[in-house]
Amino acid sequence: MDDRDRRILVPEAEEAVDELKEQVARDIGLDDDIRERGWENMTTREVGKIGGQMVRRMIRQAESNLRKR
């Protein structure tokens, strides 16, 4: 992946995104694996599960915010 594709678009949100990533990993039972092996040794499938759940939660939150307008 090109470095410019990995840049943080909203730097203020970086900490919240990291917290969400950790919470999703806990919720789907991968937190122990991450602690033992580290993020760099997770499989593409495992990281994809975490990313997919993160996207679902962010979409749900955005939809909720739009309803409140």
Which tens digits make up the pLDDT trace of 7-51? 778 989 999 999 999 999 999 999 999 999 999 999 999 999 999
Q: What pLDDT is attached to residue 56?
A: 97
Per-domain residue ranges of the chain: 12-67
Which residue blocks in the chain are alpha helix, DSSP H? 14-27, 31-37, 44-67
42 DSSP 8-state letter: S
Neighbouring residues of 53: CB distance < 8 A, sequence distance ≥ 6: 24, 27, 28
Span 57-61, mean pLDDT?
A: 95
Task: Give the residue, 2 or 66, on which the prediction is more confident.
Answer: 66
- List C-alpha distances in Å: 54 to 18, 40, 50, 69: 10, 18, 6, 23
Q: What pLDDT is attached to residue 2?
A: 62
Q: What pLDDT is attached to residue 7?
A: 78
Neighbouring residues of 58: CB distance < 8 A, sequence distance ≥ 6: 20
